[in-house]
Amino acid sequence: MNNLICFPIVFFFALFHSITFGAIENQGVIGGSFHGINRDASGQVLNQVGAFADFAVPSGIVGKAGKSTLSSKEKSALSAYLRLDDGTLTVLQPNELEWSTSSTDISIADGFAETTQVTDKARVSINLSAEGFTTRVYIRLDPGETIADALSNSGLHQALSQSTQVGGAEGWLDSSWFGKYYNAGNNWIMHENYGWIYVPVLNQPNLWYWHPQQEWVWTGPQVHPHLFRNKDATWLYFMKEALPQKVFYNYETKDFEKASE
């Protein structure tokens, strides 16, 4: 008789336990840590307790460009972080990232974004995919002072306005920052080191000039003898120590260039 009574009670308890607590997985062993997962009907985790609660869940990615603004032939490193639901960020490795852009002004390779020839101000987007998430990084393009700007805008003073007459040498002038040159008229001058150059606008604080081999070159009182060569967006340094040879150090190739006579 007692066995007949106990059977319904045990059956009811087992049925109640399976209905009420079927969505909860609780496990524990003697001497071990307790952990449990509470799921809804679809299997999605609603709550975690014990050791499982110590693991943060990825919630998105964050992309970053080393430089927010680029001009012609400039590079910016690209990096990304995995955002976790506890508010922390984890650095993602370059081989885990997929970068892409529809802009023709920027190319992406080896974790860098590099511009081509920037002619207009613009804002371009770079797409990032990693760990099943996607986001965008934005970079501004700014050409800075262009040749057209130098030719059209009037300056506050002439870059060579402080030049003085070289004694005993008619037509030769001496600039404290640019050196000695001969003014041949019609914006052509013969520079003691650079040879014949054409300076279309003199009333500028800095100089754009044209050279038969170097083509368009920019320099100024604050940077000379550093020179910016526009055709390959390269900075050069004129090696006065090498005179009478005309030698330039190329910062891009990290090598020396000897000018043709």
Calpha distance 249→214 (Å, rounded): 13
Q: Which two tokens stand for residue 226?
A: 């550093």
- pLDDT of the residue at 203: 59
Where does the pLDDT of residue 146 fall: very low under 50, low under 70, confident under 90, or very high at 90 and above? Answer: low
Report pTM: 0.42
Q: Do residues 155 and 161 touch, judged by C-beta distance below 8 A? A: no
Per cent of the chain over pLDDT 70 is 71
3-state secondary structure of 182: strand
Count how many residues are written for the chain. 261
Q: Which residue has the higher pLDDT, 36 or 41?
A: 41
- Spell out the domain ranges in the chain: 58-141, 147-258
| Class at the top of the CATH hierarchy for domain 58-141 | mainly beta
- pLDDT of the residue at 85: 83
Where does the pLDDT of residue 66 fall: very low under 50, low under 70, confident under 90, or very high at 90 and above? Answer: confident
pLDDT over threshold 80, residue 99? yes
Q: How many CB atoms lie within 10 A of CB 221?
A: 15
3-state secondary structure of 61: strand
3-state secondary structure of 18: helix
Calpha distance 239→70 (Å, rounded): 29
Could you tell me which residues come within 8 angstroms of residue 256 by beta carbon, excluding any fewer than 6 positions away? 239, 247, 248, 249, 250
**Average pLDDT, rounded, for the chain:** 77
List, for residues 184-238, the tens digit of each pLDDT value. Answer: 888 889 999 999 999 886 656 788 999 999 999 999 888 999 999 999 989 999 9
DSSP collapsed to 3 states, 95-163: HHCEEECCCCCEEEECCEEEECCCCCCEEEEEEEEECCEEEEEEEEECCCCCHHHHHHCCCCCCCCCCC
Identify any residues that bridge with 90 across adjacent strands, giving them in sequence order: 82
Calpha distance 117→109 (Å, rounded): 17
Q: Which residue has the higher pLDDT, 169 or 247?
A: 247
Q: Which two tokens stand for residue 45?
A: 């985790």
pLDDT over threshold 90, residue 249? yes
Where does the pLDDT of residue 10 fall: very low under 50, low under 70, confident under 90, or very high at 90 and above? Answer: very low
Burial classification of residue 70, based on how many CB atoms lie within 10 Å of its CB (0-12 exposed, 13-18 middle, 19 or more buried): buried
C-alpha distances out from residue 200 to 49, 159, 162, 226, 231, Å: 76, 12, 18, 20, 17
